[in-house]
A and B are shown apart, each in its own frame.
Chain A
Amino acid sequence: QKEVEQDPGPLSVPEGAIVSLNCTYSNSAFQYFMWYRQYSRKGPELLMYTYSSGNKEDGRFTAQVDKSSKYISLFIRDSQPSDSATYLCAMSALGAQKLVFGQGTRLTINP
């Protein structure tokens, strides 16, 4: 079993839709949770960084963490074609520099 599971998609939605991306994990030592956006053949870009259960909002993006269920989500409101990319979840344990990534979900927003 992988430490972090993420549905690879692809996911295709119309412009303006609400997008929900999810990851589950098995390692209870993970305390820090990140969402990255990666455009094709580019490096990942940090979107959200959280370390506690609950919601964190930044503009059109909301990150949700449920440590009891070992489940994290990223919601994108009012999705735009420019949001089309691969979204990667990543996690790390307390005091650890090593990030463990999910497989990434390829998202396409159709105009």
Chain B
Amino acid sequence: GAVVSQHPSRVICKSGTSVKIECRSLDFQATTMFWYRQFPKQSLMLMATSNEGSKATYEQGVEKDKFLINHASLTLSTLTVTSAHPEDSSFYICSATLDSSTNEKLFFGSGTQLSVL
């Protein structure tokens, strides 16, 4: 299957700092990427849909000024958690679609565990 690389896999930061997470489609071009967050023993909750070259579409309740998403190329989307606080500590996962007409071609990164002290 196609490979989606997510980096870093784990980050610990101080409260008030910003953290950037990268999501790359390694062997395909992804016009659309998705960002999820997952709390322990909870499901994946979609945060935003990111389309190359345009502004991301955020889900209801997700602060777009806090979670900045940039999708500058067909293989890279970034999520920046600005002024992180302990309540932002979570597992963040990206996904990228090889074919936007079907969810069968949706591939996930390995996730980033963010811990804010």
Contacts and interface: CB of A to CB of B under 8 A. Distances in A.
Nearest to B94: A43
Contacts of A99: 44, 46, 103, 106
Contacts, number: 56
A42 B110 contact: yes
B106 A41 contact: no
Main SS at interface, chain B: strand
Interface residues of B, number: 26
Given A99-B46, A101-B43, A41 B104 contact: no
Given A8-B41, A44-B44, A98 B49 contact: yes
Given A88-B43, A97-B97, A104-B43, 9 more contacts: A6-B43, A43-B93, A43-B110, A45-B108, A49-B103, A90-B103, A97-B34, A99-B44, A99-B106
